[in-house]
C-alpha cells in the first residue's frame, strides 16, 4: 500500500510541475461587460424555482445573484485558507502513526500552495465584481462549514486520534468540493464570469480529489480496528454539522428580504423548502462524500455502516449483512 501511494505521488508531482494553475495560467479577470448581466444564472441560485414568484425587479435579482456569488467565493476562500492549507501542512510536516512517504508529503505541500492561490483568486474575484457592479456584500460568513464542524466534534475525538480524524475530514472535503464546483459549472454558460473562475479552479481540484482518494484509502487501511471504530462513532455527527445545516437557506432568505421580498412570501419559501427536503441520505454533498468512502473501501466497514444508518445518512439494505468488519 505504501508503494502504491508513493508511486501515485511521484507521478502527481510531475503533473503538478506541468499543469498547476498557480505556475502556468494567467487568472481570469472580469470586465464590466462580464458582470453587466446576472453573474450567477437563475438555475444555479438558491430558491431558483420560486424567484419569479417574488415579483422582484431585474436589478434586484441581479443583486441577489451577486450576493450568492460572494457567499460562495467567501466559503471557498475560508475553507481553502483556514482548513485545507492548515491540514495539508499538518499532513506534510507532522509524524503519523502510519508511514507517509516523502513524495506524498511533497504533494500535500503543492496542494497547500494551490489552495492558497485559490483563496487569493476567490477574494480577488469578489473584489473585482464589487468594484464593477457597486454591489457590496450583505454580510459574509466568518468561518467555513468544515471548520465549524471540526470544532463541534473535537471534544468527542481522543487527542491521539484527532490528527487522523482531521485528515479524514480533509480528504472528504476535497472530494465534496470538486463535485460541487462541477455542478455549478455545468449550470452556467461557458462565457459567464462565474463559470470562468470556477473552471480555472477545477483544473487543480480534479488532481486534488484523486490524491485524497488514494490517501484516504491508504490511511484507513493503516488504522487499527479500534481507531476505525472510534472515528466511525463520530463521523455521523461531523456530517450533521458539516452538511445538514440550514445556514445557506437562512442566508439566501436574508438576501431576498434585503432586496425587497415580503415577509409573507419568504415564509412561504421557507415552508416549501422544509417540506420538500428529503432525508440526509439524499443530500447531494453526501453523495460525493459517500463516493469517496466507497473508493477508499470504507463503505464495507460494518461498524461504520451501522453508525451511518443510526445517524440517518444510510438506508439499511439487504446487502448490509455482507459488510466486512
Per-residue pLDDT of the chain (325 residues; tens, 9 = 90+): 788 999 999 999 999 999 999 999 899 999 999 999 899 888 788 887 788 788 889 899 999 999 999 999 999 999 999 999 999 999 999 999 999 999 999 999 999 999 999 999 999 999 999 999 999 998 888 899 999 999 999 999 999 999 999 999 999 999 988 767 666 666 667 778 888 888 888 889 989 999 999 999 999 999 999 999 999 999 999 999 999 888 888 899 999 999 988 888 888 888 887 776 767 888 888 989 999 999 999 999 999 999 999 999 999 876 454 444 4
> And the C-alpha cell for 106?
511533497
Tell me the C-alpha distance between 213 and 291, whole Å.
Answer: 10
Summarised one tens digit per residue, pLDDT across range 58-74 is 899 999 999 999 999 99
**What end-to-end distance do the CA atoms of the chain give, in Å?**
19
User: Cα dist. 66→63, 69, 131 in Å?
Assistant: 5, 5, 12
The closest alpha carbon to 309, from 235, 257, 241, belongs to 235
N residues, the chain: 325
Closest alpha carbon to 87 in 177, 178, 166: 166
In angstroms, the CA 114 to CA 99 distance is: 24
pTM, rounded to two decimals: 0.91
d(C-alpha 40, C-alpha 65), whole Å: 5
Query: Is 123 in contact with 82 (CB distance < 8 Å)?
Result: no
With a CB cutoff of 8 Å and minimum separation 6, the contacts of 213 are: 171, 175, 292, 295, 296
What pairs with residue 301 in β-bridges? 324
Distance of CA 324 to the CA centre of its chain: 29
Helix axis angle, 2-19 to 102-133, nearest 10°:
40
Local structure of 301: helix, strand or coil: strand
Sign of the alpha-carbon torsion through 31, 65, 37, 264: negative
**Across-strand partners of 324?**
301
User: What is each CA distance from 319 to 292, 299, 300, 306, in whole angstroms?
Assistant: 19, 12, 10, 12
Q: At 137, give phi and psi (nearest 5°).
A: -60, 140
Question: b vs e for 62-91, b when ≥16 Cβ sit within 10 Å of the residue's Cβ?
Answer: bbbbbbbbbbbbbbbbbbbbebbbbbbebb
> What is the model's pLDDT at position 321?
41
Q: Give CA–CA dist 251/109, Å, rounded.
A: 34
Rounded-to-integer distance, Cα 296 and Cα 298, Å: 5
Distance between CA atoms of residues 295 and 2, nearest Å: 17
C-alpha grid cell for residue 186? 455545468
CATH number of 2-322: 1.10.620.20
pLDDT of residue 268: 86
Amino acid at each position: 500500500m505504501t508503494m502504491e501511494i508513493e508511486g501515485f505521488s511521484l507521478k502527481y508531482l510531475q503533473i503538478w510541475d506541468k499543469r498547476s494553475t498557480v505556475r502556468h495560467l494567467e487568472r481570469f479577470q472580469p470586465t464590466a461587460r462580464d458582470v453587466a448581466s446576472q453573474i450567477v444564472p437563475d438555475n444555479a441560485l438558491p430558491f431558483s424555482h420560486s424567484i419569479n414568484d417574488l415579483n422582484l425587479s431585474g436589478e434586484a435579482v441581479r443583486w441577489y445573484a451577486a450576493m450568492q456569488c460572494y457567499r460562495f467565493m467567501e466559503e471557498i476562500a475560508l475553507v481553502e485558507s483556514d482548513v485545507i492549507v492548515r491540514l495539508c501542512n499538518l499532513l506534510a510536516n507532522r509524524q503519523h502513526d502510519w508511514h507517509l512517504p516523502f513524495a506524498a508529503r511533497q504533494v500535500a505541500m503543492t496542494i497547500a500552495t494551490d489552495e492558497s492561490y485559490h483563496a487569493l483568486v476567490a477574494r480577488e474575484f469578489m473584489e473585482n465584481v464589487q468594484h464593477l457592479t457597486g454591489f457590496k456584500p450583505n454580510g459574509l460568513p466568518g468561518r467555513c462549514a468544515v471548520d465549524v464542524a471540526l470544532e463541534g466534534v473535537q471534544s468527542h475525538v481522543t487527542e491521539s486520534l484527532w490528527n487522523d480524524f482531521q485528515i479524514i475530514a480533509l480528504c472528504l472535503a476535497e472530494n465534496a468540493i470538486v463535485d460541487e464546483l462541477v455542478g455549478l459549472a455545468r449550470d452556467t454558460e461557458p462565457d459567464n464570469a462565474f463559470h470562468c473562475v470556477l473552471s480555472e479552479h477545477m483544473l487543480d481540484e480534479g488532481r486534488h480529489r484523486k490524491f485524497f482518494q488514494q490517501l484516504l484509502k491508504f490511511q484507513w487501511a493503516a488504522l487499527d480496528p479500534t481507531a476505525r471504530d472510534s472515528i466511525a462513532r463520530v463521523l455521523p455527527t461531523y456530517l450533521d454539522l458539516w452538511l445538514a445545516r440550514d445556514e445557506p437557506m437562512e442566508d439566501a432568505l436574508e438576501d431576498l428580504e434585503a432586496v425587497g421580498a415580503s415577509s409573507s412570501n419568504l415564509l412561504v419559501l421557507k415552508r416549501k423548502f422544509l417540506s420538500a427536503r428529503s432525508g440526509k441520505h439524499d443530500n447531494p454533498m453526501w453523495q460525493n462524500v459517500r463516493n469517496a468512502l466507497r473508493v477508499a473501501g470504507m463503505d464495507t466497514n460494518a461498524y461504520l455502516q451501522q453508525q451511518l444508518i443510526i445517524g440517518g445518512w444510510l438506508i439499511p439494505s439487504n446487502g448490509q449483512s455482507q459488510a466486512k468488519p
